[in-house]
Amino acid sequence: MTGLLISLWRDEAGATAIEYGLIVGIMAATLITALGTFSEKLESLFSAINTKLSEAESKVKGEGT
């Protein structure tokens, strides 16, 4: 019985998969937190880019006619 417990204690099969799973979970949580934190700033940035592109499109169309 002691030999079985010692062999189970020393068995590291599957440890790598668990470590990779933990790393992926931590990275996902970090990414979700970062995107949540900066969501308003990202939204305003993309809105400003959209405005500038719309202005540029208007100028190009206005100069072409």
Q: To the nearest 5 percent, what fractions of the chain are helix, strand and coil? A: 90, 0, 10
Structure confidence at residue 63 (pLDDT): 66
Structure tokens at 59: 């100028």
Is it the case that residue 65 has pLDDT exceeding 70? no
Average pLDDT over the chain, rounded to an integer? 87
Cβ-count burial 24-48 (b if 16+ within 10 Å, e if not): eeeeeeeeeeeeeeeeeeeeeeeee
pTM: 0.49
Provide mean pLDDT across the span 21-48: 94
Neighbours of 53 (CB within 10 A): 10
- Residues 6 or more apart whose CB falls under 8 angstroms from that of 35 comprise 42
